[in-house]
Chain A
Amino acid sequence: MSSLSQFTCFRTLLASSLKTAYQRNMPTMNAGIQVRERHTKHWAPAFKKLRRLKVQKVKLPNFREEDTISELTPDQIRSRMKEQGILPPRSWMERPITISATGAVFEPYIPPEGDGKLSSLTLGGAKQSMEFLSKKSKSMLAVRKIRSFEDNFSPSTFAEEAQDIYIKAHKALVEKDYDTLHQCVTELCFPLMTEDLKMCTTRWQFLKSLEPPRVVHARCTDIINKENIFSQVTVRFHTQQTLAVYDRFGRLIYGSEVVAKDVVEYVVFEKHLANSYGLWRIHEKIIPDWMPAREPGRKTYVQQKPVVESEPVADTAVPATPTEQSAAVA
C-alpha cells in the first residue's frame, strides 16, 4: 500500500508540472467536482446595451395568471383590472330570488332503536309497528295545518303517494332524467343524489315493499313571513331493493344487480304549502346512528393525514463554539 501511494504521489507531481497555470488554478479540473460552466457569455460585453436595443420588446400575455390569482391581495387584483380596463363588478346584487325549498330538516324524527330488526309477527315487533301518529300531538297539529291548505290530505293515503314519488325519483336518477328528478326531489336533495353519480352508471330495482309505508312524523315551519309555510313529513319505508353502481369505465364499484337487500328508510318529504304549484318532494333522509354500516367500497384509499399546524419555533441564537453545557450534553 505504501509503495503504491509513493507511485501515485509521483504521478500527480509529474502531472502538475505538465499542466498549464490555467489548469492548475481551475478547481473543476483539479478537485473532480461537478460544476456547470456558463457558455453563453458574449465575447464583447461592452456592447451589451446596443445589442439589447436591436430587439423590439413584445409584451407576452400571462397564461399562468389563474394559478397566482389566489395569492393576490384585493388591491393587487384591482390594479390588474385597471390595467386591462375591466370595470369592477357591482358592489351589490339585486336579483329576484325564489325560495322553493328549506335548507334543512326542522325538528327531525328520532327513529326508535332497533327498528326494523324485529319481525312484526313477534310481540316486540308488533309493539314497534304500533306507534301511532295520532298519539303525537305536534305531528297532528302539523297534519291539521297541512289540511288547511290541502283538503284531502290524510297520512294513510299520503304514505302510498310517497312511495310512488320515491320510486319515480330513483328511476329518474338512474336514467339521468334531471327534469323529472327536479319534480320529485327538492333543491337540497338534488346535489346530494346526483353529484357522486354524474360519472357513474346506476342499475336500481324496486322489488317489493315488505311493510306498508307509514307516516311517522310531521312538522310545519314558516320562512321569513308567517304565511310562507313549508311542511315536512317523514315516511318510514321497509322495502326490498337491488342496487349496482358502475364507474365511468363500466366496472362495478358498489352493490350487485342480483343480490336483493332489505332497506329500512326514513325519508323526509317536503312541500311548499303557500305555493299553489307546490309539490311533495323528497327532501332528506334520516340516518340514525344505530343503522348498520353500508357495504364498503371495492377500492383502497390512502388515508389523508390531518393537517397539523406546527407552532412557530422561537428563534434562538445557536452557539457557534461548543459551550460547557452543550459539551456536557454531548
Chain B
Amino acid sequence: MEILLRQFQTKSFLSICKCLEPAYSHATSWTSGNAMLGKTLFHTSNTVAMPYNPPKGPRKWPIYNKKIFAPQLPGEERRPAYVCHMRTNIKYSPFKMWYVASMIRGMSVDEAIKQLSFVNKQGAVHVKEVLLEAQKLAVEKHNVEFKSNLWVAESFATKGLVMKGIRRHAKGRVGLVHYFHCHYFVRLEEGSPPAHFFFETAPKTTKTLLSEWVDEMRQRRIPGSL
C-alpha cells in the first residue's frame, strides 16, 4: 500500500549534513520517531536532500579491507589479520611526511605510537592519529583480538592537493608558493613485528656470507689472459 505522507523535518541540520546512514539504522529511527504510524517499517525510495558532492582523493586503499578470504583448512597456518587505513589531504608536505612514514615501518603499533609522540614534526601528529584509528578499526571490525598484537606492515605518503600562490621578490620578480597536501596510508598486520623488516640492514647468515665470498673469489680474472 503506497501512502503519500508529509513528514515534517524533526531532524536538525546536523543530521542532514552527515553522510548517508546505513539502511537498517534508518528503519529503526523511523520506528521510534513517528508516533502517528506506530510500529511500522518504511520501505522508502532513496532520495538525497543535499547537492551531490562526488568523492575526491584516493579510494582504492580501503577496498583492501573488503576482501574476504576463503575459509582455511584445519591444518593450515592461521592467516594474520590486516587492516588498511588512510587519511587524505593532510596539510603537510609529502616530502616531509616521508621521514615520519618511513620511520615507523616494521615497528609494532605500541612502539610506533610511543616514538611518534616525541617526534618533532607536525606530520607525526597526523600519523599517530591514523595509527590509533586503525588500531581501533582492527579490533572492532576486523576480528583482531589484542590491539597490541599489531605491527606496521606498510606506511607511506603520497602527494595530495597542491595549491599555488604567488609572492614577490626584489626588483619586481615573482615567485611561486606551493601549498602541499599529502595522503597518508598505513597497513597494520596482526602478529609480532618481523625481526628484520629491511633486508639491507638484516645481519647476513654465515651461509649467505660464505656463498657471497665464494662468488667473489670465482669472479676474479687475470687481466690479459687468454
Interface positions of A (Cβ within 8 A of B): 54-58, 60-61, 63, 69-70, 72, 74, 77-78, 86-104, 186-188, 190-191, 195, 199-201, 203, 223-225, 228, 244, 246-253, 274-275, 299-300
A92 adjacent to B7 (CB under 8 Å): yes
B37 adjacent to A223 (CB under 8 Å): yes
- Complex Cα distance A104/B31, Å? 9
B16 adjacent to A191 (CB under 8 Å): no
A224 adjacent to B23 (CB under 8 Å): no
- Complex Cα distance A74/B15, Å? 10
Which of these binds chain A: B43-51, B94-102, B111-119, B207-215? Answer: B43-51
Residues of A within 8 A of B59 (CB): none
- Complex Cα distance A78/B13, Å? 8
- Complex Cα distance A112/B140, Å? 38
B50 adjacent to A89 (CB under 8 Å): yes
- Complex Cα distance A224/B45, Å? 20
- Contact string, B160-199, partner A, CB cutoff 8 A, digits 1/0? 0101111111000000010101000000000000000000
A243 to chain B, nearest CB (A): 13
- Complex Cα distance A63/B58, Å? 14
A99 to chain B, nearest CB (A): 5
Residues of B within 8 A of A102 (CB): 39-41
Residue of A nearest to B177 (CB): A55
B201 to chain A, nearest CB (A): 30
Which of these binds chain A: B66-74, B150-158, B217-225? Answer: B66-74
Given contacts A55-B165, A74-B13, A91-B9, contact A97 B3 (CB under 8 A): yes
- Complex Cα distance A163/B5, Å? 37
With A92-B6, A93-B47 given, name 4 new contacts (CB 8 A). A86-B50, A96-B3, A97-B3, A101-B43
B60 at interface, CB cutoff 8 A: no
B49 adjacent to A93 (CB under 8 Å): yes
Residues of B within 8 A of A78 (CB): 13
B8 to chain A, nearest CB (A): 6
B91 at interface, CB cutoff 8 A: yes
- Complex Cα distance A246/B143, Å? 10
Nearest 6 A/B pairs, CB to CB = A191-B24, A89-B49, A58-B165, A103-B39, A63-B89, A246-B71
Given contacts A91-B8, A97-B5, A98-B1, contact A247 B40 (CB under 8 A): no
- Complex Cα distance A103/B28, Å? 8
Residues of A within 8 A of B72 (CB): 246, 249-252
Interface positions of B (Cβ within 8 A of A): 1-9, 12-14, 16-18, 23-24, 27, 31, 37-45, 47, 49-51, 66-72, 78-81, 88-91, 141-143, 145, 161, 163-169, 177, 179, 181
Given contacts A228-B1, A247-B143, contact A103 B79 (CB under 8 A): no
Residue of B nearest to A90 (CB): B49
Given contacts A250-B72, A299-B145, contact A224 B81 (CB under 8 A): no
Given contacts A55-B177, A92-B9, A249-B79, contact A86 B41 (CB under 8 A): no
B45 adjacent to A96 (CB under 8 Å): yes
Residue of B nearest to A227 (CB): B1
B39 adjacent to A95 (CB under 8 Å): no
- Complex Cα distance A223/B169, Å? 76
B163 adjacent to A74 (CB under 8 Å): no
Residues of B within 8 A of A246 (CB): 71-72
A70 to chain B, nearest CB (A): 7
- Complex Cα distance A273/B167, Å? 74
B9 adjacent to A93 (CB under 8 Å): yes
Residues of B within 8 A of A203 (CB): 71
A60 adjacent to B167 (CB under 8 Å): no
Residues of B within 8 A of A103 (CB): 27, 31, 39-41
- Complex Cα distance A190/B7, Å? 25
Given contacts A94-B4, A191-B24, A195-B24, contact A86 B51 (CB under 8 A): yes
